[in-house]
Amino acid sequence: MAERMTFLPRAELLTIEELDRLASAFIRLGVTKLRITGGEPLVRRGIGELFDRLSRHLAAGALSEVTLTTNGTQLRHHAERLAAAGVRRINVSLDTIDAARYRRLTRGGDLTAALAGIEAARAAGLSIKINAVALADDKEGLVPLIEWAHAEGYDVTLIETMPLGETGTDRADQFLSLTAWRDRMEARWRFVDLPDRTGGPARYTRVLETGGRLGFITPLTNNFCAGCNRVRLTCTGQFFPCLGQAVRTDFRAVLRAGTRDKALDDAIRAAIARKPEAHDFAIDRGARPVLTRHMSVTGG
C-alpha cells in the first residue's frame, strides 16, 4: 500500500448478502475453492457472518475448502469462529520476524499481535502457511523467518514483489529474484523439489536441513500463467480474471440492477471467458507500474 491511501465509502462495498450471492453463483457454476483475502479481511464488519454463510456450501459438498489470507493481527478474535465455519487452513502474510523491521514495513504495526494471532489459529486447529514478499534489502532476513516457521511446523511461501500501484518506492530497488536467491541458498541448504500443488502458482521444495516445506511464487523470473486457474473479486464487486491485467467486469452493477440468477450466471461465464493468456508484469528501473491499482485493492 502507499503511505496515504483513500478508503472507500461503505455504500461502494458489496454487502455481506451480495458477497454471499455472488460467491454462491460461482459455486453453482463449478468453483470449488474460495479464498477470502484483502487488504485485511478480518477488519471487515460482519466477516464472521460471511464465513458462516459460506460454510453451508462446505457442508453440502459443493465447496472443497474456504481459506483465508490475513496479516494475523485480528486472528486471536476470529480463529475459533473460522474453525467452526469449516476453515481448515490459512495463509498469514508475515515478511519478517524482526520487530523493528516489521514496524517499518507495516508503518507502525506490532509484531506481537501478529504472532499472538498465529498462536490462536494454531490453538483452534488451523493449518498455517506463512507468506512473505521477498525484498532486496532483506534477503538475509528470509533465512531466520524460514527457520522460525519450519521450527514451528509452518510452511513458508516466498513471493516476488509485483509492480502493482505506486507505493513511493522504485520496484527495481525492491525486487529480489527468487530464482537467483534459491541458487545462492544452495550453498547453505539442500532443496528437494516436490510435486505438491495447492491450486495456486506456488512451486514447492523441501528444505532438508529444516525439514519444512518452502514454496516459491515467481511471476517475473519463472512465469506460471499457463497453470493459473485463479480469478479475483474485489470488495466493490470488480471481477479481475488476471491479477496482472486491467480486464474486469463490474458485478456490483450486475447485482444492483436486480439481475436474476440465470442472467448472473451468464455474466459470470462471459467474464471467465475473458481471462487473458498471461499477465503483463515487468519491473524496469524508473518505470511506472503497468497497473495503477494496488495489491490491497485486488487481493493477494
What tens digit of pLDDT does each residue of 27-53 get?
999 999 999 998 899 999 999 999 999
pLDDT score, position 296: 55
pLDDT score, position 281: 58
Residue 109 has pLDDT above 80, yes or no: yes
pLDDT score, position 50: 98
In angstroms, the CA 194 to CA 215 distance is: 10
Residue 170 φ/ψ, nearest 5 degrees: -70, 120
Question: What whole-number percentage of the chain has pLDDT above 90?
Answer: 68
The mean pLDDT of 129-141, rounded to a whole number, is 89
pLDDT score, position 233: 94
The mean pLDDT of 144-153, rounded to a whole number, is 98
- Identify which has the larger pLDDT, 137 or 174: 137
- pTM, rounded to two decimals: 0.86
Residue 157 φ/ψ, nearest 5 degrees: -125, 125
List C-alpha distances in Å: 253 to 14, 169, 250, 263. Answer: 10, 35, 6, 13
Residue 292 has pLDDT above 90, yes or no: no
CATH number listed for the domain at residues 10-298: 3.20.20.70
Give the count of beta carbons closer than 10 Å to the beta carbon of residue 281: 21
Least confident among 42-51, 121-130, 159-168: 159-168
Domain residue ranges of the chain, discontinuous segments joined by +: 10-298
Least confident among 137-146, 155-164, 258-267: 155-164
pLDDT score, position 103: 95
Residue 72 has pLDDT above 60, yes or no: yes
pLDDT score, position 10: 85
Residue 136: band (very low, low, confident or very high) from pLDDT cuts 50, 70, 90: confident
Is there a contact between 109 and 102 (Cβ–Cβ < 8 Å)?
yes
